[in-house]
Structure 1
Amino acid sequence: PLDADIHQALWLSYNEIMQRKSDFRSPLVKDCLDDYLAGKRYSLDILRN
């Protein structure tokens, strides 16, 4: 695996995800999910390296 801390992939509802908030690596996980559910979308052109 690319990340040793990832043990499996799950399909979860929003409520199921929120029940696992203690497993989040960062508070940004919730922020990004909420943004997506609110319809916020950005072009990949905004990313640079």
Structure 2
Amino acid sequence: MDMEFLRTTFGKPYTLQTNIYIKGSADGKIIGREMKFHLWFDPTIDFHY
């Protein structure tokens, strides 16, 4: 599982991208999913619960 905060344009909202893969990548039969969630807050301002 991989989680990344993405922000490419100043002033635009951050995006949380998640990547989940199973069965590895060596056998060529990768099973996985990537999802993007547009955050309604700036995660760099303060600690959030």
TM-score of the two chains, using structure 2 as the length reference: 0.20
Which structure: greater helix fraction?
A: 1
Name which structure has the greater RCO, CA cutoff 8 Å, separation 6+: 2
Which structure: greater strand fraction?
A: 2
